[in-house]
Structure 1
Amino acid sequence: MLDRLNSYSGRAMARPEYHADLKREYAARSGVFWKLERAQFFNEVGDSAWDAFKAGDWDRVLALFESDRERVSWDVASEEQRGVEMRRLRIVEHPPSTYLRWEMHSHMVFAECGRPIRVLGAERVADLEDDGALPELLILGEDVLYQVRYTEDMTPNGAVRADDRATVRAAAALVADLYERAEPLADYFRREIAPLGPPSYPG
């Protein structure tokens, strides 16, 4: 799948175009959607909870994450009515980065609202990464795939869209296989994140 994806010249989109395109496609499609996250740090520009974290205000971080519950629950219920299931697979390295320790509290809110999220150790995908880390992917059904792009400091920078059905299906099959090998987020969180207590930025 990675060879196919790397050799496919998709449509490159700047961030505003990508967001607009994703919004249209997301609303028009149904089925299983996949999100694969591999990087251990992202620069969450414009995120209030990230700004609070950088400012050292952990109570505000948690309050902002909690404030998402109603919206996420509504999104999940709306997706179920449309026949959509968004499944997220988070690849994690050990020990967890400061960013992951921050992010996992947000992911737990999503999971508790019904969003399926699983976690897989990076050592379990090492055989796929001889030529580099797995890409950040968002796959909508069997027809559309976005390879999300970032700048050197991991600030979001748009995406490359793939429409070739064979490419999209191969990517979805790989992510689905990894997802089956992964553990529920709640189990990982209780074992690896909760005992560490609140993280500190940059920590």
Structure 2
Amino acid sequence: MRDRRTPELRPEWGDRLVREDYKRDFRERDAQVRDADSWKLERLQYFEEQGSPSREALRRGDWEEALRLLDERCGSLRAIGRADEERRSVFHRVRVIEEPLTAYLQWELHSLRMRAECGERVRIIRADDLAGAEEFGRLPELVVLGGRTLFQVLYAETGIPIGAVRYTNPEVVERWGHYIKDLYEAGEDVQAYFDREVAHLPPPSPGTE
């Protein structure tokens, strides 16, 4: 990565959206993206994905069922990948990982590996490599859509999504878009990371997710 100085991001520069408004606005803006890539940065180490049967199975401690349900999503993910190809748009994801892996991250890395197999571009970067960038706090959870909109996704302390701040100032969007792209280029392909760090792991113990 050429320059890991974190761009500035102030809430007053954007518009606060509650969760339902964020989901609707995201879908509408994402559908309009053409001939431009999108970028996502995931920094938190624990999310409460809602409406995910696989995530529910993990919560129950049923590892085999959690993985089976992940596999069932492959068809829909491939359809999304084909739609992105038609729009000439590629979705890139940077996942920051703290080690040792928690049960949740072990599960999520299975999900991310599958996403990559279905067409999404996913790379891993270790939190230790971000020490300088996070001197004054963790990086935010971000999505840059088509180079035109930046969303800072907001979560409660429990990991439940509660909305977002939307930024449309071109300079703010561009700075963060370049920043996430640089992180992506500095990261490791998710398949290589998975093969080395995840594939050999035994199922996590029930109740540890």
- TM-score, normalised on structure 2? 0.93
Q: Is the 8 A contact 1:145 1:162 kept in 2?
A: yes
1:20 counterpart (2, 21, 24): 24
Amino acid at match of 1:91: V
Q: Percent of aligned pairs with the same residue? A: 36
108 and 200 in structure 1: CA distance in 2 versus 1, 3 angstrom threshold: same
Q: What is the root-mean-square deviation in Å for CA atoms of aligned residues? A: 1.3
Alpha-carbon shift at residue 45 of structure 1 (Å)? 2.9
165 and 201 in structure 1: CA distance in 2 versus 1, 3 angstrom threshold: farther
Q: Secondary structure at the match of 1:71?
A: helix
Structure 2 residue 71 is the aligned partner of structure 1 residue 66: yes
Instruction: Specify the alignment match of 2:180 in structure 1.
Output: 175
Count of residue correspondences: 203
Name the one with the larger helix percent: 1
**CA-to-partner distance for each residue in 1:43-64, whole Å, 9 max, x for gaps?**
2233211111111211211111
Give the unaligned 5+ runs of structure 2.
none
Q: Is the 8 A contact 1:10 1:163 kept in 2?
A: yes
Q: Is the 8 A contact 1:139 1:172 kept in 2?
A: yes
Q: Is the 8 A contact 2:61 2:207 kept in 1?
A: no
Instruction: Specify the alignment match of 1:191 in structure 2.
Output: 196
2 and 118 in structure 1: CA distance in 2 versus 1, 3 angstrom threshold: same
Instruction: Specify the alignment match of 2:89 in structure 1.
Output: 84
Instruction: Specify the alignment match of 2:170 in structure 1.
Output: 165
Q: Is the 8 A contact 1:8 1:162 kept in 2?
A: no
- Mapped to 2, the partners of 1:13 and 1:45 lie a distance apart of 18
149 and 133 in structure 1: CA distance in 2 versus 1, 3 angstrom threshold: same
Displaced runs of 4+ in structure 1, greater than 3 A?
none
- Mapped to 1, the partners of 2:126 and 2:134 lie a distance apart of 13
Instruction: Specify the alignment match of 1:53 in structure 2.
Output: 58
Alpha-carbon shift at residue 7 of structure 1 (Å)? 6.0
**CA-to-partner distance for each residue in 1:105-144, whole Å, 9 max, x for gaps?**
1111111112110000111111111111000001012210
Structure 2 residue 8 is the aligned partner of structure 1 residue 4: yes
- Mapped to 2, the partners of 1:36 and 1:181 lie a distance apart of 13
Q: Secondary structure at the match of 1:159?
A: strand
Give the unaligned 5+ runs of structure 1.
none
Q: Secondary structure at the match of 1:119?
A: strand
Instruction: Specify the alignment match of 2:128 in structure 1.
Output: 123
**CA-to-partner distance for each residue in 1:50-80, whole Å, 9 max, x for gaps?**
1111112112111110011111111101101
7 and 61 in structure 1: CA distance in 2 versus 1, 3 angstrom threshold: closer
- Mapped to 2, the partners of 1:4 and 1:40 lie a distance apart of 22
Alpha-carbon shift at residue 2 of structure 1 (Å)? 4.2
Q: Is the 8 A contact 1:108 1:186 kept in 2?
A: yes
Q: Is the 8 A contact 2:60 2:207 kept in 1?
A: no
Q: Is the 8 A contact 2:11 2:165 kept in 1?
A: no
Alpha-carbon shift at residue 194 of structure 1 (Å)? 1.3
